Amino acid sequence: MIDRDRYPIDPWRLVETSYSHDEVGVSETLFAVGNGYLGLRGNSPEGRFAHEHGTFINGFHEVFPIRHAEQAYGFAEVGQTIINAPDAKIMRVYVDDEPLSLDIADVREYERVLDLRDGVMRRRILWVTPSGKEVLIEDDRLVSFEEKHLAILRQTVTVLNADAPVTISCQIINRQDGEDVYGGTPVAPKKAGFDPRRAERIHQRVLQPQEYWQDGTRSALAYKASESEMTIAVVADHI
């Protein structure tokens, strides 16, 4: 049953009027944007609490051996799984060195909209910091249909009732390494023994660093998948 107070009816827009820590996974799915090649799960740009982070490239995968309880002719020996591409959605906001994290923040106003006419996901929140600063944060997110490799993210931060230092930290994170310094730990391997009915996790590092460089406001990271040997590069321009 859809909560129409939280998701009011609109003919062209998916509208979310409040943040729910318990239903963040649903929101991440509903507010995903993509073009059939590049897809961004609807995680908050702060990149902290999430049900499941996700940045995906169509066809970018890793391979792993399939074990069977009993081997027989024709049984598949190699499996494939889509893997997370490096996550470039992260834009962390600090006001007076106080970080925004939606799961604990004092958010007075919140609206997120996915407009199906132009494919842009927009978010607007009014955050009151622990020191009493009122901060308006507006985010736009778009994955281009004209250039399949291109995603555009824009953020505007305005302190409404005082002067305060504002820092925006844009990051590219390889989620296969687990979580960053702001939350969570890698999932521990399960203690149960081998079960042929269950898909296996890939235990080794998936993305191997190949190249990285910084040129002014442009950052780049390149990786190769350990077993499939597929390569991927992420380049971010900060304008």
Kindly state whether residue 232 falls inside one of the protein's structural domains. Answer: no
Kindly state whether residue 215 falls inside one of the protein's structural domains. Answer: no
CB-based contact 140:120 (threshold 8 Å):
yes
Six-digit token string for 216: 């002014």
Kindly state whether residue 177 falls inside one of the protein's structural domains. Answer: yes
The alpha-helical segments, DSSP class H, found in 24-160 are: 24-30
Is the whole-model pTM more than 0.75? yes
Kindly state whether residue 58 falls inside one of the protein's structural domains. Answer: yes
CATH code for position 128: 2.70.98.40
CB-based contact 50:44 (threshold 8 Å):
yes
Number of domains in the chain: 1
Kindly state whether residue 239 falls inside one of the protein's structural domains. Answer: no
Rounded to a whole number of angstroms, the distance between the first and last alpha carbons of the chain is 42
Q: pLDDT tens digits for the chain (239 residues)?
A: 678 889 999 999 999 999 998 899 999 999 999 999 999 999 999 988 889 999 999 999 999 888 888 889 999 999 999 999 999 999 999 999 999 999 899 999 999 999 999 999 999 999 999 999 999 999 999 999 999 999 999 999 999 999 999 999 999 998 876 555 444 333 444 445 555 545 555 667 889 999 999 999 999 999 999 999 999 999 999 98
Kindly state whether residue 99 falls inside one of the protein's structural domains. Answer: yes
Kindly state whether residue 170 falls inside one of the protein's structural domains. Answer: yes
Query: Residue 18 belongs to what domain range?
Result: 13-67+76-194
Longest dimension (CA), the chain: 72
Kindly state whether residue 101 falls inside one of the protein's structural domains. Answer: yes
